[in-house]
Chain A
Amino acid sequence: EVQLVESGGGLVQPGRSLRLSCTASGFTFGDYAMTWVRQAPGKGLEWVGIIRSKAYGGTTDYAASVKGRFTISRDDSKSIAYLQMNSLKTEDTAVYYCTRHSSGIAASTEDYWGQGTLVTVSS
Chain B
Amino acid sequence: DIQMTQSPSSLSASVGDRVTITCRASQSISSYLNWYQQKAGKAPKLVIYAAYSLQSGAPSRFTGSGSGTDFTLTISSLQPEDFATYYCQQSYSTPLTFGGGTKVEIK
The stretch of A17-25, A73-81, A105-113 that contacts the partner chain: A105-113
Which residue of chain A is the closest to B42 with respect to CB atoms? A115
- Pick the contact of A106: B31, B38, B43, B98 (CB < 8 A): B31
- B55 interface residue, CB < 8 Å from A? yes
Contact count A vs B, C-beta below 8 Å: 64
Minimal beta-carbon separation of B37 from chain A (angstroms):
11
Minimal beta-carbon separation of A30 from chain B (angstroms):
21
Q: Is the interface of A mostly helix, strand, loop or mixed?
A: strand
Q: Tell me whether A45 and B95 are in contact in the complex, defined as CB-CB below 8 angstroms, given that A107-B49, A108-B32, A111-B49 are known contacts.
A: no
Q: Tell me whether A107 and B50 are in contact in the complex, defined as CB-CB below 8 angstroms, given that A44-B100, A47-B95, A50-B96 are known contacts.
A: yes
Contact partners of B5 in chain A: CB under 8 A: none
Which positions in B face A, CB cutoff 8 Å? Answer: 1, 30-32, 34, 36, 38, 43-46, 49-50, 53, 55, 87, 89, 91-92, 94-101
Q: List 17 A-B contacts (CB under 8 A).
A: A37-B44, A44-B87, A44-B100, A45-B38, A45-B87, A47-B89, A47-B96, A47-B97, A64-B1, A106-B31, A106-B32, A110-B46, A111-B46, A113-B43, A114-B43, A115-B43, A116-B43
